Amino acid sequence: MLSKNERWLLSFYRTSEINGALFFGRLARALRPGPIQADMTRHFADESQHARYWTDCITTLGSEPLKLRDAYQDQYLEAGGMPVNLMEILAVTLVFERRVVGQYVTHSKVPDLKQPIRDTLDKIMDDERWHVSWVGGALKELEKTWGEDEVARTLKRYTDADQEVYRKTLAEHEHIIGELMSFRAK
């Protein structure tokens, strides 16, 4: 069985993956066919699979997912501003995907982690690493158009926003996340 806090955190992951799938699906549909559109389509498919994996994990552990109102990504627009072009969308995506990898790696180190959670994290991590790789490569290509300095400034803007959102999220949900991730402070 899942504790109340575990159920919330896994549902939080699930909601985030659903939001990512919806976002990348809309974006893939809007882009012209080409390498970025193809990778965006795969990214969209991965995110929807991840939501399913979290749903399966939660139900395997005898619970039902919680319907959460907000996802982590929802706070990015306020903190970092609305991305206005493909380069900015990819920059915020790279920053976010790096955060996801970091969070999932941290979670995978929780002592006595339930096996279905560990298995789900392991299954998702390969995709998440690919997300970082393809988006990073696409941004590198866009440096030819936007310039290395502009891409770097944009990445910094969204990295700063991510740090603000992450601190806020940790503070807001410390009573839930703190219990599960308290080993980090040791």
**pLDDT score, position 72:** 66
CA 26 from chain center: how many Å? 17
**pLDDT score, position 183:** 47
Q: How far apart are the C-alpha atoms of 145 and 88, rounded to whole Å? A: 13
What pTM value is reported for the model?
A: 0.89
**Residue pLDDT tens, the chain, 186 long:** 899 999 999 999 999 999 999 999 999 999 999 999 999 999 999 999 999 999 999 999 999 999 997 666 667 777 777 889 999 999 999 999 999 999 999 999 998 999 999 999 999 999 999 999 999 999 999 999 999 999 999 999 999 999 998 888 777 777 777 666 654 433
Q: How far apart are the C-alpha atoms of 100 and 8, rounded to whole Å? A: 17
Structural domains in the chain, sorted by start:
4-185 (1.20.1260.10)
* Residue 115 in tokens: 């096996």
CB atoms within 10 A of CB 120: 24
Q: How far apart are the C-alpha atoms of 118 and 112, rounded to whole Å? A: 10
